[in-house]
Amino acid sequence: MPPCWGQNPFELAFSLDLAQHRDSDFSPQCEARPDMPSSQPIDIPDAKKRGRKKKRCRATDSFSGRFEDVYQLQEDVLGEGAHARVQTCVNLITNQEYAVKIIEKQLGHIRSRVFREV
């Protein structure tokens, strides 16, 4: 029985091919090419010294007041749904008009259902 009996044909071909070229064609050293500049190592700062990404500030994190302190709710209703309504409001500082969605708080609402409404 030959020593390669039961081997995968690909593995057999690869091992025979490697054995033929072991000493002749393969060399770990590459010849220098004058048309290509040699690469140089770069300095990588330690992980401790690298700047960490700053945590992004969310609008809800920086807002400590109430809605009524910044906006004035208008009377006109733009739309209504099963659990919410949309009204216009005006920014008290810039006088810019916005639409605001007001979700009614009711006991028994499932959290995912409220998020779907948003």
Contact 76, 100 (CB under 8 A): no
Distance CA 72, CA 116 (A): 26
Run of H or E including 94: none
CA triplet 32, 36, 37: central angle to 5 degrees? 90
Instruction: Determine whether the annotation assigns residue 54 to a binding site.
Output: no
Please enumerate, by residue number, every residue annotated as part of a binding site for ATP.
101
Annotated binding residues, written as ranges, equal: 101
